[in-house]
Every structure is written in C-alpha cells, then in structure tokens.
A and B are shown apart, each in its own frame.
Chain A
Amino acid sequence: MENWDKLSKMPYREIKDMQDRKLRAFIANQIYLYSPYYSALLKEHKIDPFKVKGIDDLRHLPFTYKWDIAPTDEEPQKAKDFIIRPDEEVTEKYGHLAKMSMTGGKAMVEERVSDFKPVHIHFTTGRTALPTPFVYSKRDLDNLRESGSRLLDVFQVTSDDVVVNCFPFAPHLAFWQTFFAGEKANVAGFHSGGGKIVGTNNLMDAFEYLRPTVAVFIPGYCYYFLREAVKQGRDFSSIKKIFFGGERVPPGLKEKIKELFTQLGAENVMVLATYGMTEAKVAWPECPSHDEYHGYHLYPDMEIFETVEPESGEPVGEGEEGEIVYTALDWRGTVVLRYRTGDIAKGGLLLEPCPNCGRTVPRISSNIQRKSELKEFNMTKVKGTLVNLNNFFPLMMSHPDIEEWQVEMRKRNNDPFDLDEIYLYLATKGDIDRDKLVSDIKQKVLRDTEVSLTDFIFKSVPELVSQLGMETELKEKRILDNRPG
C-alpha cells in the first residue's frame, strides 16, 4: 500500500501507471496462482494472466455478480473459492523452505501467515441473497486500518477528536471500519454498538460523559436519537462533525440533523457521508463540504473502479452515469474482480483533481443509488413496472412535516397473483393539515417514483418508531415487502 499523502497528490497519469503495475502483479502472482474461482475462470476463458498488462485489459475479464459468490442452500461454501489461499502444494513448499532456512525461515513463515491466514470476517447484510462472508488476513486488516485513517484524514478528524461510534454492532463493515480507523489514526472513542446494544438513554449518557467531537451513525437512527435527545434537553454542544454510513443522506435530512444539533447546543455541525461495500472491504469518504457534493475519494492503490452501462456492460466515459464495477487490488482474503455492485453512480467516475480539497485520487460521484432497492411491481395491468424505492428516502427524510415513515408493499387481497399495493405509514410533526399533506406526498411520490400510493396510514411517532424497530433492529425496517409468494 502506498503513502496516502503522496498518493493523494499524484497526477492521474502516475496513478494509472501504478494501478497497471499493481494489477499485473496481482493477477499473475496472486489471482492466477491462489484464487480457486478466478484461476478456473481465467483457464475457462483462455485468458493468459501474463497478458493482463493493465487496467485497460480488465475488460477482457468477465464480470462477477453477487450470485456468483453468494452461498446457496445447494452450495453453502461457494464463497471459499474467492479466498486467496496458497494450496497445499505451495504451503508445503514454503514450509519446507522455512525449515531449510537457517536465518529467515521463521520470519518467512510468519509473513506468509500474516498475508494469507484469515483472522477476521464480515458478512454482507443479505438483503438480496444469503449473507456472504468476506474474510480478512492480518495484511488485509492493515489495509482496513489504513483505509480508515485515510477516511479520517479526508474528514479532518485527528487524535484531538473523540469519536462515538453508533453503528450497530455486527460482523459488518460499518462498525469495524470505524473501530479500525480509530485504532490506526489514534483517535479515542466509544464503540457503543448502537441503540440496540446499549439503549438510547445510555448512549445519550455516554455523549454527555465523553463530550465527543465526532459521532458516527446510520441516518435513520440518528434522526430518531437526536429528536429524543432534544426532548430530554440533552447537551451535545461538543459535537463538530457527524458522519453517516449505510445509506444516502439527502440534503433535506442534512438540514434536519443540523437543526436538531443546533437545539442540542452544537452549531454548524458538518454532516459527512461515507460509501462502503462489504465486497470492497473498505469505505470511502465524501469530500467534506457544507453545501456541495464533490464525490467520494477512492484509494487507487487498493482498488480499481469502473463505471459501465448496466445493460450492455460497456464502459461509460468519465463523469457519465453508470453502474459501479469494483476490482480489488493487492488484497488477500476474499477477493473479487470486476464485481457488479448494482450501485448506480449518477455522476459517474471522476478523474480530475477534487475542486474542494485538491486531492488527485479518483472520485465516485456523491449521488449513488443502490440497485438492490429497485423492485419490480405489478401496479397496473401492465406488468413489471420498476419502482425505485431509493426515491422514497430523499422525499420522506427531507419533508418538513414528516417525523417518521415506513413503506409497506402488499398484494391486493393477499393474493400472490393479484396487483401490488403500496401503503405509506406516516407520523407527522405536530398538528398539520393531513389532507394537504396527503395530496402533497401523493403528487411528489408519483413524480419521483411513477407510482400511485394505495393508501396512507397515520400513526403516532412512538408507534411508528416501534414498528420501524428503531431500538430493536440492526437497521430500521424502512421498506417492508409483505407480498406473499
């Protein structure tokens, strides 16, 4: 891994040369030799690993899809084939070398163990498939730590800061990325495990006890947590920055969060976002800015990003909308190449230096939509309307009259062959004109998602908070798909 200071000032031409060099070595020395899945794939497609000269040759490799790696009931161990691991023959050879060496044998074995032996595991959240394990070797954990310290560097979080990590504890990337970031960057903190683990009131106590400068949250829970804190008259005046993971932060929600912090005594809190995926084993920081979006800064020595046209798989140009395709660079443990993330970068991949901070590393645009949240609906006699559930988030989260919301999908008459229905549960802010709100939401939902809502169900805030599982679920249940069959 490269020096981040140097890397973030390197002209793109040099970054590309470095990526070419690293990719060549990675394919020839690791993937081809030690990745069971990809070595078989290369053979099957008659790809000579030594002819992959650089990132321009990546397109000769087939894509990897979620279903290629996700375990199934028939093949529960599928993901193991994606782990970089020297086979027994190689292990034996190195073991023999180690025994033979009078001077460096032990060190050589240790180095190999550090490189390859899995020591830590994360799982995908399994929204669209069974949870898939992604393993880290010690070497990979160093990468995870380094990526975390880069993330904090972009966010200008230093060892003078104190962080409260409110990501739900789970063997997932978000919690652990934050933990390892703090460890590497020497930033003190409290890794609470979130409201489900410690309880919302205890978490508030911890804020008042520690007086943190930085808080890390999932947006939906944060909004709930801050509202509760305001109700209790808590003092969170120490907070300077907050960063989110797990989902997109629409501008309206940023404003609501800032406003709540103001009520808690913290002025002008900087709201920051991260983009991460289990498959890439790291998260990336959005360049900090109060009102503009400059994209997420990538780590070009750890990965290659491509953007492709979702249907044809053809690469799209710089800055053009496309699906994010991820290729690991110089990792061990679980490794994927040309992985179709399903996430659409609306503003594409950006190679120009960042106009905000001047860093030269590639950026992916801030507006990313998750494909897994696209659902097929039979709303009318015309089958197969694709509804982008992403669009509910900015609309509802930003709406000034809405405190909490939930979308429930059902089948008419609970008949799997009947039409789909979409119900919207709402808890409003104080006394408002419900008819006016319903008409406003109806119109906006139709505009943004091209569907008509079946009905609106009003609930009290506590009722809806409980229905969302705000204190009981790892992540609140914002969209419920209760369609039978």
Chain B
Amino acid sequence: MQAWNKISRMPAPAIKKMQDELLHKMINEELAVRHPYYRDLFKEHNIDPAEIKGVEDLSKLPFTEKKDLLLPEDNPLYPKQFVLEVPAEDEQKPKKKGFALFGKKETGPDPSDYRFFSLYFTAGRTAKPVPMEYTHYDLDNLREAGLRAFDILEITRDDTLINAFTYAPNAYFWQMFYSTIGIGSTALQTGGGKVIGLEKILKAMDSMEAPVLAIAPGYGRFALHTLDHFGFSAQNLERVVIGIDYSPMEAVDSIRKLMESVGAKDNKVQRIYFNSEAKSGWAECAPDYGYHTNPDHILVEIVDPLSGEVLGEGEMGEVVVTHLDTRGTVLLRCKTGDIATGGLTTEPCPNCKRTVPRIMGDIERKEMIYDLQGKEGIIKFNGNHLRKKMYAREDVLLWYTEINQNGSEDVLKIVAKGVSGTDEGALFKSLEEELKAELNLTLTVEGSTLDAVANKIGLEKYITEQVIFDNRKS
C-alpha cells in the first residue's frame, strides 16, 4: 500500500491511473502466474491477461461468486484454489550490488510475502464461512487499513476504546485490534456480549471512562437502553462506532438520540463498513458522507445485481471487489452480496476533502430481499427496509419477524418487545397498521418477553443479531 497522505489527496484521474497499473500488475504478475483458480479460468475463457490493461477491461472478466468459493463437502482444501502459490526461490532475481540510486531495484517476488500466516473467515451470514488466508503482507495491509480508518474517524491514542464487536476469526475484529494497538490507545478487546456479556461491557465503559464504544448497531442501541437498569453511567462516552451489521442512517440517528438521553458527553455516531471479501473495512468521516475506500488496495465496482452491468456514479447496486495488492487469498470481481444504496462516487468528500472513491448510502444485504406471495401476486419485501423502520421506532427495544406460509400466501409474523414504560398494546397496534399499509402484506404484530426475543435473535449468541426468519424454506 502507498502513503495515505498522498493517496487521500490524489485527483480521481491519478487514482484511476494507479489502479490501472496495479490491476495490470496483479493480473499479469500474480493471478496468471500463481493463482490456481484464475490461471485456469483465464485459459478456460480464452482471456489473455496482457489484454487487461486497466479498469475498463475488467468487464471482460467473469464475476466470482460465493458459490465459487464455497467448500465442497468432499474437498476441504478447495478454497486453496484462491490462494496465491508461494513463488519458487529461483523466481527471485539476484539483488544487484551497489547503491539503489534510482529507487528500489526489482528483485522479483519475495516468497515471505506469500507464506501463510493467519486464517480468517468470511462472516458466513448466508452460507458456510469461507476461509481467507492472510500473509504477513496482508496483515500489514490490514494494519494500514485500520490506521487509515482511525484517521478518517479521527480516533487518536488519547481515546480509550471499548471494542465490543463480537469476536470471530475475521477481519472485522482483527482490524479493530490492530488499529488500537497501532495507534497505542488504551483498549479493551471484549469479544462482545457473546463473550463477556452486556453488564461487563457497560461496566468497563463506565470504569475505564471510555469515550469510544465500537459495537454492532442493534446491540449498541440495546446497551444504551439498558444502561440505567445496570446502574452504569455513560457520562464519558463521546462516540459510538457502529459496524459489522446493517447500519442505516436510522440506526445512527437512533443511537445519537439515545446518547443524548443517557447523558453522554457527546453524541457522535460513526460507521465502518467491514467487507470480508475485501479483507478489510472502510470508515466514514461523518455519517452519510460515504465509506472512504483504499484505492491502492481494493478496486470497487458497483454493478446491477441481476445483469452484472457496471453502473454509473451514484447508482444503487451490488458492491464488487477486486484485490489490487493482496497475497494469500486473492479475489477478482467478487460479488459481495452487499447493496450500496448510494452507489460509488469519485468526487472528493465534501466533508473531509479526501479524494478516494467512496461507497455511498446504506449497505443492504441482497439476501434480505424476498419475493413473497401476496394476495394479489408477488410482492418484493425488503427486509433491510423493515430493519430501518424498526431502528426509527423509538418505542421498539427488540424484534424479529418470521416469514410463514399460510395456504398459498406468505405472511409476516412480527414479534416485538417495547422499551421500558411503553404501552405495548398501543405499540403493536400502531406498528401493525403502519406496516400493513406500507408492505401490502398480511401480517401480525405481537409481543413477547425480553428473554424470548433476545434468545431468538441471538443477541449474545451470534456474531450479529438475526431478525428475519424465513420459515418457508423448512
């Protein structure tokens, strides 16, 4: 990766030129030579790697999808097809003697950059988690991505941080860890509620007088609601960094309001978009200003999820990532299943002036969009939008919905728990009327106990809460 100060001020054409060069190099010097899957794919599709001169030529290459990466039951080693082979020692050119007066001498690939060092997995929300191999080279990139994200978030070593992102062997947790270690801030890596429970997280936040809390949005909202119950204070809390799960602007607003209501010192909420396939995460300088990507590391395309057509600036579509400078597991045109509602922009950020491409809007999950059989035909039900709506409801504490089959019709059963002091009867009634009108589906809203809802959504059981259960599949 290159110097962040330089990259983040580079004009768009210069960024594009850099990406063209990196892509050409990655395809010709790495993938065509030592990537088992893509080397074969190029041959199979009669693709001449030399003809991929830049970003415009990317559309000549097929997409890589989750199913391509998935581990076949009978071959646990299959994901190694996506890992760069370690170059043979004789590929290294002998180092030239004398001083390198005009920059670094070309010495060929260094095998130590390619040797496996750490294994992470993709989030595995919809399918089996895919192993992603990291080498030292990749971990350096992950550290750098973490430091850049903290630079964008303006987190410094004076900020004590409680990392309440759920532990999993994935880039999400480890990027946060490397960021805090990298800047030297005081940090507690809690592992999330699944590991130490909410009470201990809140206690640590209070006793360490931590100004920064990193937490999944739903769990963060729940934490702030229950602060009083546990008898802890948020008087030193200045900002909440949300990520690892769907984090729409409604979640930002909801947490902001809650911070105000619990007497937090400030009410800043910021977002990070972690992307396992990109092997790192990107931060927003301020909510809704877009996730600032690392163009020297990952090339982002936004495509139509169905046709695969590359979309224009600002158009909503699926996030597709291509690795420009990675080792270990390397992916080309990988469809992530994430929908960026605001598309991609290459305009400089109006807030922080950084010039790197930004992914705009909310990041929705493609698999949360369902075709449901309504009374009068197929109805598109976007579960992301229901989640958004629930974040906006100040009276709903926790909830989930089941998609059930009733005869030939698909119906929704929404189960909710209101915040303390809410008239739940009135809440369920108003929610039901509102959702019926909006979704045009047959649905019911009913109440349940806090424990029952928390257990069902796996609040302290899964990496992120599960709120939509499609019972039709079973």
| Closest CB in chain B relative to A356 CB, distance in Å | 31
CB closest chain-A residue, reference B77: A209
Which of A162, A168, A198 sits near B116, CB closer than 8 Å?
Answer: A162
Q: Which of the candidate stretches A7-15, A186-194, A422-430 sits at the interface with the other chain?
A: A186-194
C-alpha spacing A382/B131, complex, angstroms: 59
Stretch at the interface among A113-121, A272-280, A290-298, A450-458: A113-121
Q: Which residue of B lies closest to A159 (CB)?
A: B115
> Once the chains bind, are A117 and B118 in contact (CB under 8 Å)?
no
Asked if A189 and B118 make an inter-chain contact with CB atoms under 8 angstroms apart, the answer reads yes
A138 to B119, CA, bound (A): 25
Which of A77, A120, A192 is within 8 Å of B207, CB to CB? A77
Chain B positions within 8 Å of A202 at CB level: 121, 129
In the complex, residue of chain A having the shortest beta-carbon distance to the beta carbon of B189: A171
Instruction: Indicate if B227 sits at the interface (CB-CB under 8 A).
Output: no
Q: Nearest Cβ distance between residue B339 and chain A, in whole angstroms?
A: 27
B169 at the interface (CB under 8 A from A): yes
Find out whether the CB atom of A210 lies under 8 angstroms from the CB atom of B119: yes
How far does the Cβ of A111 sit from chain B's closest Cβ, in whole Å?
12
Chain A min CB distance to B168 (Å): 6
Whether a CB of chain A sits under 8 angstroms from the CB of B401 is no
A400 at the interface (CB under 8 A from B): no
CB of B397 to closest CB in A, whole Å: 24
Nearest chain A residue, comparing its CB with the CB of B79 = A209
Given A117-B184, A190-B118, A190-B169, are A169 and B157 also a contact pair (CB < 8 Å)? no
Interface assignment of A18: CB less than 8 Å from any CB of chain B: no
Asked whether B167 lies within 8 Å of A206 as measured between CB atoms, the reply is no
**A191 close to B169 (CB less than 8 A):** yes
What 0/1 readout, one digit per residue, does chain B (232-275) give for beta carbons within 8 Å of chain A? 00000000000000000000000000000000000000000000
Contacts of B129 in A (CB 8 A): 202
Partner of B169, one of A114, A192, A208: A192
With A210-B119, A474-B195 as contacts: A197 and B131 at CB distance below 8 Å? no
A141 to B71, CA, bound (A): 37
A117-B157, A120-B181, A197-B167 as given contacts; A131 in contact with B200, CB under 8 Å: yes
Question: Would you call B230 an interface residue if the criterion is a C-beta within 8 Å of the partner chain's C-beta atoms?
Answer: no
**Interface range on chain B: under 10, 10 to 19, 20 to 34, or 35 or more?**
20 to 34
- Which residues of chain B are near A196, meaning CB under 8 Å? 194
Q: Inside 8 A of B207's CB, which chain A residues have their CB?
A: 76-77
A170 located at the interface, meaning its Cβ lies under 8 Å from any Cβ of chain B in the complex: yes
B190 interface residue per 8 A CB criterion: yes
Query: Is there a chain A Cβ closer than 8 Å to B345's Cβ?
Result: no
Q: Which residues of A contact B186 (CB under 8 A)?
A: 117-119, 121, 135
Q: How many whole Å from B253's CB to the nearest CB in chain A?
A: 31
| Residue among A77, A141, A170, A209 making CB contact with B191, cutoff 8 Å | A170
- Do residues A119 and B184 form an inter-chain contact, with CB atoms below 8 A? yes
Interface residues of A in 165-181 (CB under 8 A from B): 168-171
- The distance in angstroms between the C-alpha atoms of A120 and B188, with both chains bound, is 6
B76 at the interface (CB under 8 A from A): yes
Whether B378 is near chain A, meaning CB under 8 Å from some CB there, is no
Residue B180 at the A interface, CB < 8 A?
A: yes
- CB within 8 Å of A: which B168-184 residues: 168-169, 180-181, 184
With contacts A120-B187, A138-B184 taken as known, whether A170 is within 8 angstroms of B196 at the C-beta atoms is yes
Please tell me if the beta carbons of B168 and A198 are within 8 angstroms of each other in the complex: yes
Q: Is there an interface contact between B118 and A113, defined as CB atoms closer than 8 Å? A: no
- Chain B residue at minimum C-beta to C-beta distance from A76: B207
Question: Which residues of chain B are near A138, meaning CB under 8 Å?
Answer: 184
Pair A197/B184 contact, Cβ less than 8 Å: no
Tell me whether B185 is interfacial, beta carbon within 8 Å: yes
Q: How far does the Cβ of B434 sit from chain A's closest Cβ, in whole Å?
A: 38
CA distance A209 to B77 in the complex (A): 5
By the criterion CB–CB under 8 Å, are A190 and B190 in contact?
no
User: Which partner residue on chain A sits nearest B203 by CB separation?
Assistant: A76
CB contacts (< 8 Å) of A162 on chain B: these are 116
Bound state CA distance, A142 and B253, in angstroms? 41
Chain A proximity mask over B71-107: 1 for CB below 8 Å, otherwise 0: 1000011011000000000000000000000000000
Near B by CB (< 8 A), chain A positions 344-386 give none
**Shortest Cβ gap from B286 to chain A (Å):** 27
Asked, given contacts A192-B169, A206-B119, whether A119 binds B180 with beta carbons under 8 Å apart, the answer is: yes
Interface string of A105-141 (1 = CB under 8 A from B): 0000000011001111100000000010001001001
Is A205 a contact of B76 with CB atoms below 8 Å? yes
A198 touches B169 (CB 8 A): yes
Give A234 Cβ to nearest chain B Cβ, in Å: 10
Residues of B within 8 A of A205 (CB): 71, 76
B129 and chain A: residue at smallest CB distance: A202
Task: Answer yes or no: B370 CB below 8 A from chain A CBs.
Answer: no
Taking the closest CB of chain B, its distance from the CB of A287, in whole angstroms, is: 28
A198 → B minimal CB distance (Å): 7
CB neighbours (8 Å) of B195 from chain A are: 168-170, 197, 474
List residues of chain A with CB within 8 A of the CB of B77.
208-209
Residue of B80, B117, B168, B189 near A188 (CB, 8 A) is B117
Neighbouring B residues of A208 by C-beta, 8 Å: 76-77
Tell me the minimal C-beta distance from A432 to chain B in angstroms: 35
Provide 16 A-B residue pairs closer than 8 Å at the C-beta atoms, listed in order of the A residue.
A77-B207, A117-B186, A119-B180, A169-B191, A170-B195, A171-B189, A171-B190, A171-B196, A186-B117, A188-B115, A190-B119, A198-B169, A209-B71, A209-B80, A209-B119, A210-B119
Nearest first, the 3 closest Cβ-Cβ pairs linking A and B are A190-B119, A169-B167, A208-B76
Additional A-B contacts beyond A119-B186, A121-B187 (20; CB < 8 A): A117-B184, A119-B180, A119-B185, A120-B187, A120-B189, A121-B186, A131-B200, A135-B186, A168-B195, A170-B191, A170-B195, A171-B196, A188-B115, A188-B116, A193-B191, A197-B194, A197-B195, A205-B71, A206-B131, A209-B71
Residues of A bordering B, CB below 8 Å: 76-77, 113-114, 117-121, 131, 135, 138, 141, 162, 168-171, 186, 188-193, 196-198, 202, 205-206, 208-210, 474
